[in-house]
Structure 1
Amino acid sequence: MAKDRGTIKWSSLMLPEHVELLKELWKEDEKVTKPLLDPQQIEVIHNDLMEAYRLRKYVTLSRYQNATISHLTGLITKLDQYGYEIVLQTEDHNRHRIPFQQITSLIVN
């Protein structure tokens, strides 16, 4: 069976505006809705956050932001219960401020 390159083979015949429009449409297809967490799941995530912060353990968390879910691994350097956010330092020494409501899952490594 012949191997087809899909829309890639036609991109040289398209205007740059059309190519950009196709890329935007593909990004729209990748968008996901935010998972709904029940109170028990939220409590488990909260307890795991507290334990990882107290014991200085690395965590891998899933974060919902801008209609996508991304995964980050790092060490929790700050836990702000009043501001409802954490500061996660990844292995490349970048710091991410993550609000609690964006966390969809958490694994303590």
Structure 2
Amino acid sequence: MLENIRDRGNVKWTAMMLSEHVAELRRWQNEDRYEERPQLDDFDLQAIQYEIEVAQKRECQVHVRLWDKGKVVFYMGVIKEVNVESMWITVDSPFGRDRMPVKDIICVQCAE
């Protein structure tokens, strides 16, 4: 008896929605996922600077958490360059080379 029931689930509900409703639902979901920028004090900033310096000198794997437009992004790799003038660091990862602004870094941890 249950084999005869063919429920299409979300397909039938989204087909009945207006495009304005779908756009508003997507905006609402993005708003729910938004994370406030963490407030870092001087101690946190000094710890980040120290970890960046140590990781660059030791050339070890690092885990970098970056705040980007309301979400936290994770990176892993080796710090290859620290540009003090333009306030960027360059991280070499298995997926390529990423340049990230120092002002958006939340946390840096050496993996080794």
TM surpasses 0.5: yes
Return the alpha-carbon distance in structure 2 between the equivalents of residues 82 and 60 of structure 1: 23
Percent identity, aligned pairs only? 23
- C-alpha offsets along residues 54-92 of structure 1, whole Å, 9 cap, x if unaligned? 111111111011111111111111111222110112211
Q: How many residues align?
A: 103
Instruction: Give unmatched runs, 5+ long, in structure 2.
Output: 1-9
> Which residue among 79, 84, 89 is the counterpart of 2:87?
84
Q: How does 1:1-109 map to 2 (within 5 A)?
A: 10-93=13-96, 95-109=97-111
Q: CA deviation at 1:20?
A: 2.4
Tell me the C-alpha RMSD between the 2 structures. 1.8
Instruction: Give unmatched runs, 5+ long, in structure 1.
Output: 1-6
Q: Tell me which stretches of 4 or more aligned residues in structure 1 moved more than 4 Å.
A: none
Q: Secondary structure at the match of 2:77?
A: strand
Cα 1:8/1:54, change in 2 over 3 Å: farther
Give me the TM-score of the superposition, normalised by structure 1: 0.84
Q: CA deviation at 1:8?
A: 7.1
Return the alpha-carbon distance in structure 2 between the equivalents of residues 9 and 84 of structure 1: 51
Return the alpha-carbon distance in structure 1 between the equivalents of residues 11 and 85 of structure 2: 50
Return the alpha-carbon distance in structure 2 between the equivalents of residues 89 and 23 of structure 1: 34
Give me the TM-score of the superposition, normalised by structure 2: 0.82
Cα 1:92/1:46, change in 2 over 3 Å: same
